[in-house]
Amino acid sequence: MIDFLWGIVVFIARAINFALDVAIGYDRMKRLAGQMTGADRIVAVPDDPKAKVEAQGRG
């Protein structure tokens, strides 16, 4: 019985460790991308171009 409970505790600890490793890896990748590109995002997406609207009243 105690082995089963320790197995559950170890599984939960490994799951937490995996989640923290993923979070740390993402943060490090984001910092590296910022150093390499100068942007604060992993993928720098340009803003949407604004459509030029002709002035009304012409015509």
pLDDT for 54 equals 67
pLDDT per residue, tens digit, the chain (59 aa), is: 999 999 999 999 999 999 999 999 999 988 888 888 777 666 666 777 776 666 665 55
Distances (CA, A) of 44 to 17, 25, 39, 47: 30, 19, 7, 9
Cβ–Cβ < 8 Å for 37, 45: no
Distance of CA 30 to the CA centre of its chain: 7
pLDDT number for residue 38: 76
CA distance 24 to 10: 21
Single-letter residue type at 56: Q
